[in-house]
Chains A and B, each alone.
Chain A
Amino acid sequence: MMAAPMILAGVGDEFFNGRILREMLPGIVTEAMRNTVVYTVFAFSAGIVLGLLLALARISRRWWLRTFAATFIDTIRGLPALLVIVIIGYGFPIAYKGVTGNFWRWPFGSFGSKYLPGCFSLSLVAAAYMAESIRAGIEAVPRGQMEAARSLGMTQGKAMRKVILPQAFRIIIPPLTNELAALFKDTSLIAVLGVGVGGREILQYARTFSNATGKTTPLVAGGIAYLVITIPLLQLVSYLDRRAKRGTR
């Protein structure tokens, strides 16, 4: 009879410790969530540009472009994202230290050394996945659209820009939003690179507190921080999916 309240109290102390939660504020928002958003926005923007180029290369008439793009996309998608991040985030700065002093600091100053290793490796992963979504969108546009555009004297490139891509992007908004939610969670992989104070994203920030207190509460707080963003995003995805299925513009 006495056991139930005791177990509940234990759970509360370990997972929902109010004192620790208060200690994590406001850093969990101003540092951790902010940096997670920065990593996500950067990797998503870079990924969409690079992904578009890869998708176009993937369907190019030039065999060497197709081969290069397919190899790159399949390699990245075939590897655990964590391994890509570790190889690039650890490896490149060490390899180029002698050349530029600090590989990441060199073109972007202190911003570069703090954020770039994670952002860059995450962008590559995002690009590979988005390239496949974008390619599927381009291929979903009926062939007659390209023929109509070409018959009016548009070049291949102009037809792609003015006719095919506007329709393709409408098709791939739901999968790309899904990609955005996935990317938001994958920023947690950057934690392995051990970014210093100020550059920590949610998971690393939470782990710092967890290690210091020996409690699970900071990790739960981190989880809540993720959910605050990902649940609305996933709702948006299913809304966009439903709207796309209804076939309205």
Chain B
Amino acid sequence: MITIRALSKSFGDNEVLRSIDLDVAEREVVCIIGPSGSGKSTFLRCVNRLEEPTSGSITVDGVEVCNSKCNLDAVRTSMGMVFQQFNLFPHKTALGNVTLAPISVLKLDRAEAERRGREMLERVGLAHKADMHPSQLSGGQQQRVAIARALAMQPKVMLFDEATSALDPELVGEVLQVMRDLAGSGMTMMVVTHEMGFARDVADRVVFMDGGVIVEQGTPEAILGNPQQERTKAFLSRTRT
């Protein structure tokens, strides 16, 4: 589904990503963990080119994303993204957030978009909040609306960029549950996260990044239970609570 080869990204002299290779299969859930500043968020943002890679290639569902001839907007409709800060549109209701792109990008008529939108809100357990504005929702509810907004485009891949990092601890669970259900339904997912429990339970594969490279990767048991690299061991011993 996703093939990444020799992906590098520099901000000026600062090399954030150094020649990363990664494949993600259809229906696979890949969790990317690592210390802050390891480049994992930048890596994820390169996949839908919110960050422009300095070099390398990314293929999503057979489309070369870094090609200048690629219709980036079309590719992005097949990749949903969920942000740390939710980034809901504050001037729209929950339903308005969920229907905006289906109407304006996919050209669905309003009734069809709203039907699909309500279905997606139902899926994240917020059908009853359809007419609320983001400011009237809790952080956890906002993030679930953001997930519904991405799902309404019927993407083939979902990218999660530290989706629970900005939430109060008691609100993390409800968002993780939605992500769990999504993984269970067979969605292909790339998840940058600090939630080791989630990675252990849900991931098919865990990727540990540090210093702009993939240090090691494997099954959750292998990486979280029996890491081989010193840097992985050091990171996990620091995060263990």
Give the interface of A toward B (CB within 8 A).
142, 144-145, 147-155, 158, 162-163, 166-167, 170, 249
Q: How far is the CB of B16 from chain A (nearest CB, A)?
A: 17
A153-B74 in contact given A158-B105, A162-B104 (Cβ < 8 Å) = yes
Instruction: For the complex, give the distance between the alpha carbons of A147 and B88 in Å.
Output: 11
With A147-B50, A148-B83 as contacts: A154 and B91 at CB distance below 8 Å: no
Instruction: State how many angstroms separate the Cβ of A203 from the closest Cβ of chain B.
Output: 41
Chain A nearest Cβ from B41, distance in angstroms = 12
A153-B76, A154-B73, A249-B133 known; A148+B89 contact, CB < 8 A: yes
A-B contacts, 12 listed (Cβ < 8 Å): A144-B83, A144-B85, A147-B83, A148-B83, A149-B89, A150-B50, A151-B150, A152-B76, A152-B105, A153-B74, A154-B105, A158-B104
Q: Does B77 contact A (CB under 8 A)?
A: yes
B91–A167 contact, CB under 8 A?
A: yes
Q: Which residues of B contact A (CB under 8 A)?
A: 48, 50, 73-74, 76-77, 79-81, 83, 85, 87-91, 100-101, 104-105, 133, 135, 146, 149-150, 153
Nearest Cβ in chain A — how far from B13, in angstroms? 23
Cα–Cα distance between A155 and B90 once the two chains are bound (Å) = 19
For A158, list chain B residues within 8 Å (CB). Answer: 104-105
Please, how many angstroms separate the alpha-carbon atoms of A155 and B101 in the complex? 11
Report the Cα distance A46→B227, complex, angstroms. Answer: 66
Chain B, Cβ-Cβ closest to A170: B91
How many interface contacts (CB-CB < 8 Å) are there between A and B?
64
> Which 6 pairs, one residue from A and one from B, show the smallest C-beta to C-beta distance?
A153-B77, A148-B87, A152-B101, A144-B87, A151-B81, A153-B76
Residues from chain A with Cβ under 8 Å of B76 in the complex: 150-153
Collect the chain B residues with CB atoms within 8 Å of residue A142's CB. 85, 87
Whether the pair A154, B101 counts as a contact (CB closer than 8 A) is: yes
Residues of B with C-beta under 8 A to A145: 87, 89
Q: Measured between alpha carbons, how far is A147 from B80 in the docked complex, in Å?
A: 12
* Distance of A155 from chain B, by nearest CB (Å): 6
Neighbouring A residues of B79 by C-beta, 8 Å: 151
Pick the residue among A152, A162, A166 that contacts B77 (CB under 8 A). Answer: A152
| Interchain CB contact under 8 A, B50 and A151 | yes
Measured CA separation A249–B132 after assembly (Å): 13
Q: Is the beta-carbon distance between A249 and B48 smaller than 8 angstroms?
A: no
A162 CB contact (under 8 Å) in B48, B83, B100, B146: B100
Q: How far is the CB of A84 from chain B (nearest CB, A)?
A: 36
Chain A positions within 8 Å of B105 at CB level: 152-154, 158
For A153, the chain B residues whose CB sits under 8 A away are: 73-74, 76-77, 101, 105, 153
Whether A166 contacts B91 in the complex (CB less than 8 A), given A150-B50, A152-B153, A153-B76, comes out as: yes
A238 vs B135: C-alpha distance when bound (angstroms): 24
Complex alpha-carbon distance, A152 and B78, angstroms: 9
Q: In the complex, A141→B76 CA distance in Å?
A: 22
Most buried by B among A150, A151, A163, A167: A151
Q: Give the docked Cα–Cα distance between A158 and B100 (Å).
A: 11
Q: What CA separation (Å) do A147 and B51 show in the bound complex?
A: 10
Q: Within the complex, what minimum Cβ distance (angstroms) separates A105 from chain B?
A: 44
B87 touches A154 (CB 8 A): no
Chain A residues, CB < 8 A from B73? 150, 153-155
Chain A residues with CB under 8 A of B87: 142, 144-145, 147-148
Given A147-B83, A151-B81, 12 more A-B residue pairs with CB atoms under 8 Å apart are A144-B83, A145-B89, A148-B87, A151-B76, A152-B80, A152-B105, A153-B76, A153-B101, A154-B101, A162-B100, A163-B100, A167-B89
Q: How far is the CB of A56 from chain B (nearest CB, A)?
A: 19
Name the residue on A nearest B102 (C-beta).
A152
Min CB–CB distance A167 → chain B (angstroms): 6
| CB of B113, distance to nearest CB on chain A (Å) | 13
Most buried by B among A148, A158, A166: A148
